[in-house]
Amino acid sequence: MATHRTAASTAPITYTPAGPINGPTFTCPRCERVYPYPPDHGKPVRCECGWWYTNLGHGRIIEEFRPRIGGAATSGPEAAAGPASETH
């Protein structure tokens, strides 16, 4: 009397780093690196240059600048250093 049913399995998703990109691609407008297009409401594209691109669906991409920890100081005297303050 054992009705052994296997549950409907979802297709496995394999993420291969640095593999060939199949399907649509997203090009970072800041540094022109090419990534797989971020899925709707899915994981954002995290570009090497520090910008994140999140797909809100319907082709809407929001851009956020999230530098890596320690990448950009937000306090302290060094944070104010800009191109105009060259004091070599």
43 contacts Zn ion (rule: CB under 5 A): no
Contacts of 57 (CB under 8 A, 6+ apart): 40, 41
Report the C-alpha gap between 32 and 24 in whole angstroms: 15
49 contacts Zn ion (rule: CB under 5 A): yes
Comparing CA positions, the residue from 21, 56, 29, 58 lying closest to residue 42 is 56
Among 21, 25, 30, 64, binds Zn ion (CB under 5 A): 30
Q: Which is nearer to Zn ion, 71 or 86 (CB)?
A: 71
Taking the complex as a whole, the smallest distance from the CB of residue 65 to Zn ion amounts, in Å, to: 10
Sites of contact with Zn ion (CB under 5 A): 28, 30-31, 47, 49
